[in-house]
Amino acid sequence: MKLVKQKKISPRKMWPNEAQDFTPWLEQHIDELGEQIGFDLEVVGREVSVGPYSADLLAKDNNTNTFVVIENQLEKTNHDHLGKTITYASALDAKTIVWIATDITEEHKKALDWLNDITQEDISFYGIQLELWEVGPDTASTRWNIVSAPSVNVKAIKHASSTTESGQIQLSYWTKFRDKLKATKKIHSLHTPRPQYWFDVALGKSGIHISNTCNIQKNIVRIRVYIENKTAPTAYAFLESRKADIEKQLGFQMNWDSNPNASDKTITLEHETDLTDEVKTEESLNWMVDYTIKVWNVFSNVLKEMK
């Protein structure tokens, strides 16, 4: 390992023109941004028209199947761009706004924090300050400093106050699950917990993800590789052809459901528990974290081979 001296440089040295240089670069490196905010991002369009203006990038978060507006500004933030991002989000039905700038002012940070606090729980605003650091001759690295992001605690309180008792149990379960999984530092892209039956984890392939479930009535938790209907005809066949190798790598068998009557396909592992018992709930959380990591490691690598 060798230590090198770094020097902060202007992003304009790498990307002289924001629209012609930086936005196309970001489109090609959208995974890098997604990893910073815990999203599985897929670019839908660049310079997407909204009236007389255009959004720099429109992406989709595959974890939640919702749109994300990304606005770039290789300079100090201003009111004009803040207004435009909100307009783009409303026109394009986006749930998340990501505002990237080289200098986010204190008043705009406060504005984003305020918007995160007052909007409904599924609306999110991110302010990211981009830095470029020279690490050697003709070599530089990016730094993404998140200066404003949704408060998980505030969003959780909003969830809890407006959901049923079952929803509150699910929210609590997924919050603990996410915290435990995040603490392992094995999987970086994790979305905000919600009071719902499932919690999705991206596998790096559009249309295929891990969708863990928590069935309160039956006291069963499941880890599912979920293959959406558009992807299922080819993806399920590919994975099934690798079944022996997959289960050898996993060290255990899963339930492969090729139900012809269902458009979506699942590959499942389940665990019985008692969600009214704190000890058994904790044990089920540890089980789910351990086996989610194992399933994620194997399937994410195998899916890289699928064209």
Please indicate whether residue 231 or residue 210 has the higher confidence score (pLDDT): 210
In 54-149, alpha helices (H): 79-92, 106-118
Nearest to 111 by CA among 273, 221, 101, 23: 101
Spatial contact of 208 and 228, defined as CB atoms under 8 Å apart = yes
Host domain of residue 226: 154-303
Please state, rounded to an integer, the average pLDDT across all residues of the chain: 88
- pLDDT of 262 > 80? The answer is no
Alpha-carbon distance of 201 to 110, in angstroms, equals 31
> Does a structural domain hold residue 23?
yes
Please indicate whether residue 164 or residue 147 has the higher confidence score (pLDDT): 147
Highest mean pLDDT among 7-21, 41-55, 285-299: 285-299
Same domain as 158, residue 139: no
Spatial contact of 194 and 65, defined as CB atoms under 8 Å apart = no
Out of 109, 132, 150, a domain closes at: 150
Out of 150, 167, 197, a domain closes at: 150
- Going by pLDDT thresholds of 50, 70 and 90, the confidence category of residue 27 is very high
Q: What is the pLDDT of residue 155?
A: 53
Average pLDDT rounded to a whole number, residues 189-196: 80
Alpha-carbon torsion (186, 28, 146, 16), positive or negative: positive
Same domain as 131, residue 195: no
Same domain as 177, residue 125: no
Spatial contact of 225 and 208, defined as CB atoms under 8 Å apart = yes
Q: Encoding tokens for residue 301?
A: 């690598």
- Going by pLDDT thresholds of 50, 70 and 90, the confidence category of residue 64 is confident
Average pLDDT rounded to a whole number, residues 132-158: 79
Q: What is the pLDDT of residue 277?
A: 92
- Going by pLDDT thresholds of 50, 70 and 90, the confidence category of residue 163 is low
Count of domains in the chain? Answer: 2
Q: What is the pLDDT of residue 57?
A: 95
Alpha-carbon distance of 290 to 103, in angstroms, equals 40
Same domain as 165, residue 296: yes
Same domain as 160, residue 146: no
Out of 117, 150, 183, a domain closes at: 150
Alpha-carbon distance of 200 to 207, in angstroms, equals 12
- pLDDT of 41 > 70? The answer is yes
Q: What is the pLDDT of residue 4?
A: 73
Q: How many CB atoms lie within 10 A of CB 220?
A: 15
Same domain as 161, residue 282: yes
> Does a structural domain hold residue 1?
no
Q: What is the pLDDT of residue 158?
A: 52
- Going by pLDDT thresholds of 50, 70 and 90, the confidence category of residue 23 is very high
Long-range contacts of 106-110, Cβ-Cβ distance < 8 Å, separation of 24 or more: 108/77, 108/82, 109/147, 109/148
Q: At which residue do the structure tokens 């997604």 appear?
A: 34
22: alpha, beta or left? (left if phi > 0; alpha if psi -120 to 50) = alpha
- pLDDT of 261 > 60? The answer is yes
The CATH number for 207's domain is 3.30.1460
In 63-105, alpha helices (H): 79-92
- pLDDT of 281 > 90? The answer is yes
> Does a structural domain hold residue 45?
yes
- pLDDT of 160 > 60? The answer is no
Average pLDDT rounded to a whole number, residues 238-244: 94
Compute the residue count for the chain.
307
> Does a structural domain hold residue 134?
yes
Interstrand relation of 139-148 and 198-205 (parallel, antiparallel or unpaired): unpaired
Query: Which residues are registered as beta bridge partners of 101?
Result: 73, 129
Q: What is the pLDDT of residue 156?
A: 52
Q: What is the pLDDT of residue 171?
A: 87
> Does a structural domain hold residue 2?
no
Alpha-carbon torsion (293, 295, 296, 301), positive or negative: positive
Spatial contact of 86 and 68, defined as CB atoms under 8 Å apart = no
> Does a structural domain hold residue 248?
yes
- pLDDT of 300 > 60? The answer is yes
